[in-house]
Structure 1
Amino acid sequence: MPDRPADDAEADPTDAAEDAAATTLGAVREPQRLHPLTLLLRVGTSLPALVIILLPILRNPGSTENVTSLVLGALYGVFALPAILLQYWRFSYRITPKQIVIQSGVFNRKNRSIPIERVQNIQIERNLVARLFGIAKVKLETAGSTSTEGSLEYVHQDEARKIRQVVRSFQRDAEGSDAAAANADAEDAADRDTLLDMPLRRVLLSGAFRFSLLYLAVIFTVLELFNPEALVERVLRARGRMEWVSEIVFSHPALAILATVGAAIVLGWLSGIGVHVARYYNFRLWLDGDKLRKRHGLFTVTEGTIPLDKVQALILRTNPFMRAFGWYELKVQTIGLDVEEQGHRVIAPFAGAERILELARQVRSVQLPESFTRVSRLTIRRRFIRYTAVLAALLLPAVYFWPAGWLHLGGVVLPWWGFGLVPFILGWAVLQYRNHMYASGEDGFYIRRGVLSHYLWILPVEKFHVFHATASIFQRRLGLKTLFVDTAGAATFEYPEVIDVPAAEADAQFDTLYRRFRRLYRGRVEAATGAPDTRLAPDERPHLPVDEAPE
């Protein structure tokens, strides 16, 4: 574990303050309202919609076709602004040693009670405007939730830190750790160590390996509101270049297409750098007792906590360019997933392979296998046939309905040229085969997958929830199966499975995983009850803690 820099105490003066607040603040028993500036920010976020409504009037004030815009603008003033005021007035929250109670709603009142012991993470977000006004957004996440369970938008930034510390102190009391609660401040100061920080130079370097279409989407959205031809003509004609550009576009359409694609790639690359810097600027990860804490962000500063006991799996991600230079990203999969991060929380956005493994071992005991087993080579045939069939299903109707006067290349309608992608499809299937491997160890199951994004899943045995082997009708004809391993909090689109394993090997791996999980489970039952048999009397079986009734 790296030593903590000497200037860390000066770099984060708020940490000591929020630790000290645990013993002095107590419970927020009376209902509390959000910060009054919440009203101003909510009105501000609604103004872009009003501008879009009034845009026809702004562009052509004398037109007689602006009645609709005037009516919608009037409805905004009559209904939207009062609704914002009522929503603020009818929102309140309070915190007790047992629960967090949030009341909201104007006509349909909601009373949400979040048990203190179920709160997994209290995330504090401060965007640029919130930082200017000294306020923050508090997001409450619970175990097993697929979204934010509760949100306080906005409270004073000091109040946000106090809320987080009060909940932590109540959680310590609920666990019955009196000694730990009494010495919480000293333990936090002793156990808090910086694991990773990223200066601006490292963030810029990591952004250079990213690609994003975000700003491209923004550009095209803006062009939808204005006439792009008029903009281009106005800019280029002012410089006397419009005719020259027009001649190139019409005489060399292929060159124009290549230039457009090149410009899109450059903008996407620059967008990737911008998005990455905005997200991970001043990134810092540190260990706080049995939790990982991180803080990062340029425009929106986010502070979050990841309890180590809630981590279900580790995920190492890279891409061909990052891999060539030895750079990786480390994610963890937790019970309470964050939908904004696709079910995975990034704890190391960019680091070398050895550094990533060191950080991974801070979370779980990791020992990578010496060798991995590839899936069956028959997967190349299966993938090639499937992808080619999809391509044909898209192109053949286009060929049939292609108008006679539309673009023809070499006397052949354009969609036929799409079948030139077939060799690339074969190459893609081969790459998927070469990068799809798995390994089984005493401590867990390891899966490698991906072409443009390489993933390595590390699934500890004790975190297995479901594992099964399935076979489609086409796999059964080839003697193949798909081995799926599920853990709590798995994302919808990024999940660990081994596709096209020989059926006998898949069944053997299934039995091996089951035996290891059963052996671990029986050991825990024996440690808890003194007997390895799970068929015990009801009063002798180990039970999960029973939730106390809310106040």
Structure 2
Amino acid sequence: MNRAKRYHPLLLVFDLVNFVKSFFVFFIMLFVVGLGSSSNYFKYGRYVFILVFVLSFFSKIIGWLTHKYELDETSFRLYKGLFTKSELTVPFSKVQNVNRHTTLFHRIFKMTSLSFNTGSAGEDAEVKFEVISRAEADKMENYVERAGKPLPTGLDDDLPSVEKEEQETLPGRTVHFKPTKNDLLKASFTSLSFLFLVPLLFSFYFKIDDIFELEEEKLEGAFSYLLSSWWVLAMILVLIVAVSVAFGIGRTFLKYGKYELSSDEKRIYISKGMVEESAFSIPKEKVQAIEITQSSLKRLLGLAKVKLTSAGSISSGDDALEINTLYPFLPVERAYEMISEILPDYRVTEGMESLPKQSFWIRMLSPSWVWLAATAALYYFRSSIPFWDGAWWVLSVLLLITVYGMRLMDFFHTRYVLNERFVQFKKGSLTTTLFVSKRDKVIEVKVTRNVFQRFLGLASVGTVNRAKPIRHEGVDDVPVELADAFYNWYIGRTKEIHVE
């Protein structure tokens, strides 16, 4: 893999398809809706559209002819430019994680897209191959993982490829989780994905007269008939519920139907998707932190979402893929076990320290600027508020109860623990987040104290981890003794950092 070559020719088709998708609405307006119109807007609009399409087509061809890449023993080398040529070198050692995304277009042509993400900003943030054969993607990923060392003789041609639809787990990999049908059904209801259909139905109802050019009187008559007939209304409601549930189940199956979490000695692998496939892999040593999130519903059901934090980007195109998330509907105990299985160097401490009583008072007595601003706005617009006179102060009281209720929940949920090698924070009100990081992955710590905290013997502590964007975590109003120990704990990382 050391000869400079152009990207795959199908990249041209892929770019043109994306162009059409981006301007599809304009295409419909100009060439379908306004086809018979004599308006200059539609007439010249079609000329402009065709001109832009042709220019885009030729620019893509020039780009394909002038962009090349090669892999040497230690890095990617990317070349571009027609008159002014440039070369970009991205060392393999900077690669934080690897993403694959296979859309319907890729599946039709048995291709995929491959991204090598670094923790940098700028041009070398990502090395991306929008269209690449699956066999070449496998070989490239293995080559980069081996830091440019040639594959053993005979292995290059026989390397397992994901082109096989029913790919067996590769030798050396341990599969930690594959969702069953019951898991997927539970996920479809827990994620509330069936509610996605509700706004679509409302949107359709309000636009039905525009779509089918119905008269308003006939539409109101049909609606009145439905309301007057209870059995028809009941059947429609049952149908809507059935379609919504089916929609939610189908959406969940398409998203997580082929989900698999596996690992080998050095890397973690996550794949998902039925129609559009996504895959993510990361070296275990480059996991910066672990985040465990629980919404109110998930806490009630004993479920959690586990996310791996890395310094590289986890996006593919315009879609931010949560592909670095372990299955987001895992039972809490199983999630903790899985973290220990996949990352033996990490552990989640269940027994954590709660905040002191002083923290309760500083949180409850602090003014709420949101409530004060909202109350002022409600008072100013009180004459425009419907229902009854004086409704503004009722809304203000309800907002105040909500604000202090959230503060109370956050106080009881907030926990922390600091041991020899780990720091662990938990906080949140309706949704809680548990953050776990190793000391050698923390690049900066911070301790602050305001006037009230100094009076009550409290402090705020925080950490910074490499991520994209930079990950800031911390806990407010902890005992000042923890703040003192926090600095000493961080200084101890010098024994764990090895500079090559």
What's the offset of the Cα at 1:140? 1.0
Which residue of structure 1 lines up, in the alignment, with residue 176 of structure 2?
A: 195
Residue 509 of structure 1 is matched in structure 2 by 482
Structure 2 equivalent of residue 425 of structure 1: 403
Partner of residue 291 from structure 1, selected from 242, 267, 274? 267
1:484 Cα offset (Å): 0.5
- Of the structure 1 ranges 349-358 and 412-421, higher mean CA displacement relative to structure 2 is found in 412-421
Amino acid at match of 2:402: F
Matched with 1:364 is 344
- Out of 31, 34, 43, which is 2:7 matched to? 34
What is the distance in 2 between the residues matched to 1:122 and 1:464? 22
1:350 aligns with one of 329, 349, 369 = 329
* Cα offset, 1:445, TM superposition: 1.7
> Pairwise mapping of residues 44-443 of structure 1 onto structure 2 (< 5 A)?
44-57=17-30, 58-60=32-34, 61-64=36-39, 65-67=41-43, 69-104=45-80, 110-144=86-120, 148-171=125-148, 191-211=172-192, 219=200, 227=207, 230-231=210-211, 234=214, 237=218, 240-243=221-224, 276-338=252-314, 345-362=324-341, 363-369=343-349, 371-377=351-357, 388-397=368-377, 399-400=379-380, 406=384, 408-412=386-390, 417-443=395-421
Q: What residue is the counterpart of 1:8 in the other structure?
A: none
Question: Unaligned 5+ residue runs, structure 1?
Answer: 1-26, 248-262, 526-541, 545-551
Q: Equivalents in 2 of 1:212, 1:111: separation in Å?
A: 46
Post-superposition CA distance 1:418-447 (Å, at most 9, x none): 543221222111111111111222331221
Against the structure 1 CA distance between its residues 90 and 227, is the aligned structure 2 distance closer, same or farther, given a 3 Å change threshold?
farther
Q: Judge conservation of contact 2:100–2:278 (CA < 8 Å) in 1.
A: yes
| 1:349–1:244 distance in 2 versus 1, CA, 3 Å | same
**Residues 349 and 401 of structure 1: is their aligned pair in 2 closer, same or farther, counting only changes over 3 Å?**
closer
TM-score scaled to structure 1, two decimals?
0.72
Relative to structure 1, is the Cα distance of residues 83 and 242 closer, same or farther in structure 2, using a 3 angstrom cutoff?
Answer: farther
Is the partner of 1:462 in helix, strand or coil? helix
The one-letter code matched in structure 2 to 1:89 is L
Deviation at 1:410, TM superposition (A): 1.0
- Residue identity matched to 2:147: F
Equivalence for 1:6: none
SS at match of 1:77: helix
Q: 2: CA distance between counterparts of 1:471 and 1:349? A: 36
Counterparts in 2 of 1:454 and 1:308: CA distance versus 1, 3 Å? same
CA distance in 2, matches of 1:419, 1:85: 63
Name the SS of the counterpart of 1:123 in structure 2.
Answer: strand
TM superposition shift of 1:368: 4.2
Tell me the secondary structure at the aligned position of residue 158 of structure 1: helix
**SS of the residue aligned with 1:345?**
coil
- Whole-angstrom CA distance in 2 between matches of 1:85 and 1:441: 57
Kept in 2: contact 1:343–1:491 (CA 8 A): no
Query: In structure 2, what is the Cα distance between the partners aligned to 1:199 and 1:161?
Result: 28
Deviation per CA, 1:440-483: give whole Å up to 9, x if none: 22331221112332222222233232122113456456553211
Say how many residue pairs are matched: 468
Question: What percentage of residue pairs aligned between the two structures are identical?
Answer: 18
Whole-Å Cα distance in 2 between the matches of residues 113 and 218 of structure 1?
A: 48
Q: Does 1:447 align with 2:447?
A: no
CA RMSD of aligned residues (A): 4.2
Q: Distance in 2 between matches of 1:380 and 1:274?
A: 45
The 1-side partners of 2:283 and 2:106 are apart by 27
* SS of equivalent to 1:408: coil
Match of 2:494 in 1: 521
2:12–2:61: 8 Å Cα contact kept in structure 1? yes
Q: Secondary structure at the match of 1:346?
A: coil
CA distance in 2, matches of 1:90, 1:456: 48
For residue 372 of structure 2, what is the amino acid of its counterpart?
A
Equivalent-residue separation in structure 2 for 1:335 and 1:120 (angstroms): 6
Give the structure 2 partner of residue 463 of structure 1. 441
User: Contact 1:447/1:498 (CA < 8 Å) preserved in 2?
Assistant: yes
SS in 2 for 1:347: coil
Q: Do the aligned partners of 1:200 and 1:282 also contact (CA within 8 Å) in 2?
A: no
For 1:376 and 1:342, locate their aligned partners in 2 and report how far apart those are by CA, in whole Å: 39
Contact 2:291/2:307 (CA < 8 Å) preserved in 1?
Answer: yes
Structure 2 stretches of 5 or more lacking a match? 160-168, 229-239
